[in-house]
Amino acid sequence: MSFIKKLFGGGITGPQESTKNYREADNMGTRILDYAHYQALLLGTVYKSQAENPGVAVFAFPDRGMAETALKSISCIKTASDTGNLISLLIIDYGGYRVDEGYRDGWAAVVHGKGLTKAVHEEAVRAFKKYGGKELANRIPQSVQPVGASTGQGKVTLIRSEDLSKTGGVGSKMIYKAASKADAIEFLKTQNINKPFFYVEIETPSGWVGKDKDGGYEF
């Protein structure tokens, strides 16, 4: 059993979930696996000004089960039926890591990222407080708006493929262009990526989105 499945897998009775069957391939978010991973995401987040600083909510819980239960009560967080992992239907960073904060087996629950809207942030904070979380970090997103509807054109055009080994990297990348972020995200939802170091990235008028075997991301 993988670490993340142990951390956010089955066995904990949480909030009632939708009857829709979600799978690992439906994950559009980036899982936070541990504290080092969380710090790496923070350091890797690029924004043009303080007004674009991504929102974040981090709350500590007595154990990982309570942290998972709180996360599962957020509407965009689901459980994958094929892996037992938590997945996100939105392009956000989510998950948890071990904390002390006076708890013997404490865990922090986290939502973060450029795709975190005010509405989802507020929902997460309410959920974390409802389940008795202790606030560690809480910053309201300043400029993020919901992605909105697809243009209806649904056109995503392949621009080029890249062999990353030719530039000193590892793996390969497919670069696309879309008429809108909504169109790009709908396209990414169709991409079931199982191969390590394979990336699908899409340029849109409002920024880049991508997906690899671990989920979606925005940059």
For residues 202-215, give the mean pLDDT. Answer: 92
Residues 172 and 207 in one domain: yes
Mean pLDDT in residue range 37-43: 81
- Asked, for residue 147, whether it belongs to a domain, the answer is no
What distances in angstroms separate CA 189 from CA 5, 124, 196, 216, one per listed residue? 22, 23, 18, 9
* pLDDT at residue 37 in the model: 85
The verdict on 16 and 82 lying in the same domain is yes
| Domain assignment present for 151 | no
pLDDT digits (tens, 9 = 90+) for 20-35: 899 998 999 999 989 9
The helix or strand, by DSSP H or E, that contains position 129, with its residue range, turns out to be helix 118-130
CB neighbours of 142 closer than 8 A, spacing ≥ 6?
Answer: 50, 51, 52, 53, 55
Question: Is 207 found in the same domain as 135?
Answer: no
Q: Rounded to whole angstroms, how far apart are CA atoms 183 and 181? A: 5
Examine residue 150 and state whether it is found in any structural domain, yes or no: no
Question: Which residues, at least 6 apart from 3, have a Cβ–Cβ distance to it below 8 Å?
Answer: 33
Are 122 and 163 part of one and the same domain?
no
- Reported as a pLDDT band with limits 50, 70 and 90, residue 54 is confident
Residue 3 has pLDDT above 70, yes or no: no
State residue 10's pLDDT score. Answer: 44
Same domain, 123 and 161: no
Q: Is the domain of 15 the same as that of 64?
A: yes
Higher-confidence residue of 167 and 51: namely: 167
List beta partners, residue 202. Answer: 176, 209
pLDDT value, residue 40? 83
The domain boundary, picked from 114, 139, 164, lies at 139
9 within a domain of the structure (yes/no): yes
Count of the separate structural domains present in the chain = 2
130 domain residue, yes or no: yes
Higher pLDDT, 140 or 18: 140
Token readout for 118 is 């005010």
Q: Are residues 30 and 120 in the same domain?
A: yes
Same domain, 129 and 188: no
Average pLDDT over residues 37-55: 67
Element at 108 (helix H, strand E):
strand 107-113
Range of the domain at 27: 3-139
Q: Are residues 88 and 47 in the same domain?
A: yes
Give the mean pLDDT of 66-86: 96
Tokens 């071990």 belong to 98
Pair (47, 123) in one structural domain: yes
User: What pLDDT does 152 receive?
Assistant: 54
> pLDDT digit string (tens) for 130-148?
999 999 999 998 765 555 5
CA angle 44, 69, 89 (to 5 degrees): 50
134 and 169 part of one domain: no
Flag whether pLDDT at 39 surpasses 90.
no
